[in-house]
Structure 1
Amino acid sequence: MHINRRVGAVATAALLLSSSYGLAAEINPARGTWDSGWFDTEVYIAALRELGHSVNEPITLDDAVRYQALSQRDADFSVMEWFPLFNDRFAMFDNLEMVGYVIRGGALEGYLVDKKTADEYGITSLADFADPEISALFDRNGDGIADMVACPPGWDCGLVIDHHITEFGLEEHIDLITAAYDPAMADAIAAYEAGEPILFYTWTPNWVLGELVPDKDVVWLEVPYSSLPEGQSEFEGHTAIEGVIGCANDPCEMGFPANDIRPVGNSAFLDENPDVYRLFEVMEIPLDAVGEQNVRMKEGENSAEDVRRHAQEWIAANRELFDGWIEEAKGALEQ
C-alpha cells in the first residue's frame, strides 16, 4: 500500500492541529506505507499501552514526510526504519535516534525470477538480462524488453535499483514497473500462475515469498558485483549474503546489504520517556513471526482490526517474552 506525498503532508498537518487541542502528551506513532511492517508497529503500540501510555493510532507516511514528522515532533517514533537503506535520510536530522532492533540483520532485498524459466535458460544473474533473448522472455507489454516489478516512487529502494540498472548497463533491457507494489505483485503472481515468466524485486519479511517460495517457485538473482549508490557506498563488499535459499551460490551476491529494521524516535520524546527508551532497547520480533503474519494479510486478513488482532494473538502466544520486555522497561523508571 502506498500513499502520495500530498496525502502524507495533510496527515502531518492534522497531527500539528491535534497537538494544539491538548493531545501533545499522547504518543503519536508513525509508520511507513508498506504494510508488511504494520504488525510490528501494533506489537510495539501494545507494549507502550501495557506500560500505561496513551498511544494514538499510527499515522501512515511516506519516507520523506515520515522523517520530517519525526524531526518536528509531529510523530514521536517509528519502528519500520531500514538501515542502511535509510542512512542518508536519517543523517539529515540531528534530533532523531535509533534505539534497539526490531529485526536484526534479517531484512533482505533483491531480485527474483520464476524457477522454471531460470532453470530452462540458465538464468542466475541480473546481468543475464543484457542478452536480448533473455530479456524478451520477460516482456509483459509487447515491447520486447523485460518488465520488472520494482519500487513505487518515493521508496528508497528505488535509488539502489536505478543504480544497478545503470551500473550494469541494463537500461535498454529492463523496464521498471513502479506502480503501487501490492497490485503490481498480484498481477505478476497471476502471470506466474498462468505459466508466464516473471521478474521482480522484493524484500523480507514480506507476503510475496509466502506466495512464491524461493527454490520452489522462484530463485534469487545475483548481481555481477557489489555496487551501491553514493549514500550507501560504504557497504559495498558487504552485499554477499550467506545461506540464501534459492540462490545459485553461497554466499549470494544480492546487490543489497542485509538491513536491520530499527526503531527511530525523536530525541526529546525518548529523553522524556526512559521506559520507552528501554523498551525499544530490549524488544525484538522474530522474522518468521512477521512473515507468517504477512501471509495472513495476503489471504484477506488485512483490515486494521485484523492487524491489531494478529498482534494481540502473537503477544498471547509469547506472553512470557512480552512480560519480560515490560518489566525491563518499568525498571528504567526506578533508576
Structure 2
Amino acid sequence: MFRKLMTSGVAALAILALAGGAAEAKTKVVIGELDWLGSRAIEQVLNQVMTEYLDADVSTIAASQEALYESMNKGDGSVDVVADVWSDHLPAQMKNYVIPGSAETIIFNKTPYEGTEGIFIPKYVADEYGVKSLADLAKPEIAKLFDSDGNGLGELWAGAAGWESTNQTQVRAKSYGFDKTMELTTLDQAVELALLKDAYASKKPIAFYYWTPEWIFAAYELVKLEEPAFTGYTTEGAKGTERYNANGCYTFYQPGERNDWLEASDIKCSQPPTRVYVAHSKELAGRDPKIAQFLTQVKLSTDDVSKWILAMEVDGKPVEQVAKEWIDANKPKIENEWLAGVR
C-alpha cells in the first residue's frame, strides 16, 4: 500500500512538473526577414522587445516578400510577423489578405509610419536661390544652377537604371516640362551618394530622386521639391482601392504594360506617402493575444528608422547594437505605449 501511495505521489509530482513546464513554454515567433536595412533594424527592435519583455522565443527566416505574406496567410506558424510592410506597393496582398472582405488573415499595427518619395535638394540651395517646387526646374535660370558640366542642362539623378522610380521621374520631367532644361542621369546609387557628399561639403547645388526613411535624411538637411496635392491614381490597376480616381492627377504605365508608356503617362502631382506597417498573422493573435496586442501598438517614426539606417550604413554598427541602444534610451515609450495593457 505504501509503495502504491509513493508511486501515485511521484506520478502526481511528475504531472505537476509537466504542467508547470507547459505553463512556462515560450511562444515561438518567426519574423520574416526583408533585405533592406530599415526593415532589418525594425525586425531587431521587435525581436529584442518580445524576447526581453514578453519572454518570446523569436527567430527569423528569409524569403521573398510574396512567400512571406502567403505564409502569414496560411497561419501555420512558419511566418508570424513582417516588420516593414510598404502597403501601397502591395495591392494584391492588401486585396487578398488585409482589407475588409478579404481573407483578413494579416493584421496591421494601428499607426503606420510614412515612407515618402520625391525629388530633393539641399536646404542651402532652397534658401539661397529660392528653389521650392519641382516646376521650378523647367525654368532655364534655375536649371542652370544644377549644370556641372557646362552643357547648358542641369543634372538630376532620376534613380538607378531599371528602377520603377527612374521611369516615374522621366514622366515627371515630361509633365512638368523640365525634360527640356534638365538632363536625367541613372548613375549607380553609390556614385550618386558620393556626389551628394561632395556637393554638400562644398555647398554646390544638386538635385536627385530619393525616398524616406534613409540615412541621408539623418545626415543632411534636405528639402523635397513641392508638387500639387495628390488627387488619385487613374489606371486600371488602382481600381478598387481608396486612391483610385478616374480624373486623378497620377497616370503611370510601366514600359512592360504598353509601348507608348511615356506618352500615355502623366504625373502632375506628388506621390502620396506610403503607409508602412508592422504586420502579424491572425493565427498568432489566437496563439498569443498579448504578443499580438503589442504588435498592434508598436508605433515607429520615419526619423527613427532613418537614424537606425545611418548608424548601420555610415557608422558601421551591428544591427543588434543599434536596436539595443535605442531600446535602452526609449524604455518609457516601449513600456508605457507599446506594451500598454500587455504586461
Q: Under TM normalisation by the shorter chain, which class is it? A: 0.5 to 0.7
2:263 alignment partner in structure 1: none
Please give the secondary structure, in 2, of the residue aligned with 1:262. strand
Q: Give the superposition deviation at 1:273.
A: 4.1
From the CA coordinates, give the structure whose radius of gyration is larger.
Answer: 2
Q: Give me the whole-angstrom Cα distance separating, in 2, the residues matched to 1:178 and 1:188.
A: 12
1:290 to 305, 310, 323: 305
RMSD of aligned alpha carbons? 3.8
CA offset at residue 68 of structure 1? 3.5
* Structure 2: distance between partners of 1:259 and 1:301: 28
Question: Per-residue CA shift, 1:5-53, capped at 9, x if unaligned?
Answer: xxxxxxxxxxxxxxxxxxxx95432344432343222111112323233
Equivalent residue for 1:276?
291
Counterpart of 1:41 in structure 2: which amino acid? E
TM-score under structure 1 length normalisation: 0.65
* 1:93 paired to 2:96: yes
Q: Distance in 2 between matches of 1:155 and 1:162?
A: 11
Provide the C-alpha distance between the structure 2 equivalents of 1:292 and 1:36, rounded to a whole number of angstroms: 9
- The residue that corresponds to 2:5 in the other structure is none
CA pair 110-258 structure 1, distance change in 2 beyond 3 A: same
Matches within 5 A, 1:1-335: 27-50=29-52, 51-57=54-60, 59=62, 65-73=64-72, 75-83=79-87, 85-91=88-94, 93-94=96-97, 97-101=106-110, 103-104=112-113, 106-139=114-147, 144-152=152-160, 161=169, 163-172=171-180, 173-177=182-186, 179-180=188-189, 184-214=192-222, 219-224=223-228, 226=230, 229=233, 230=235, 231=238, 233-234=243-244, 255-302=270-317, 306-324=318-336, 325-326=338-339, 328-329=341-342
Task: Compute the displacement of 1:123 (Å).
Answer: 2.0
| 1:126-145 Cα shifts (integer Å, max 9, x gaps) | 11222345335424677654
Q: Is the 8 A contact 1:41 1:79 kept in 2?
A: yes
SS, match of residue 38 in structure 1? helix
- Partners in 2 of 1:184 and 1:328 — Cα distance? 47
- Helix, strand or coil for the counterpart of 1:28? strand
Shift of 1:262: 0.8
Task: Tell whether the 8 Å contact from 2:158 to 2:169 is kept in structure 1 after alignment.
Answer: yes
Tell me if the contact between 1:27 and 1:76 (Cα under 8 Å) persists in the aligned partners: yes
Q: Is the 8 A contact 2:115 2:274 kept in 1?
A: yes
* Distance in 1 (alpha carbons) for counterparts of 2:215 and 2:230: 27
Assess if the C-alpha contact under 8 Å between 1:29 and 1:75 holds in 2: yes
Partner AA of 1:177 in structure 2: T
Instruction: Quote the Cα distance in structure 2 between the aligned partners of 1:159 and 1:86.
Output: 16
Judge conservation of contact 1:42–1:307 (CA < 8 Å) in 2.
yes
Matched letter for residue 210 of structure 1: A
How many residues are aligned here?
278
Indicate conservation of the 8 Å contact 1:31/1:41, yes or no.
yes
Larger deviation: 226-235 or 195-204? Answer: 226-235
8 Å contact 2:39–2:84 — kept in the other structure? yes
Give 2:120's aligned amino acid. L
> What is the CA–CA distance in structure 2 between the aligned matches of 1:111 and 1:171, rounded to whole Å?
14
Change (3 A) 1:92 1:271: same
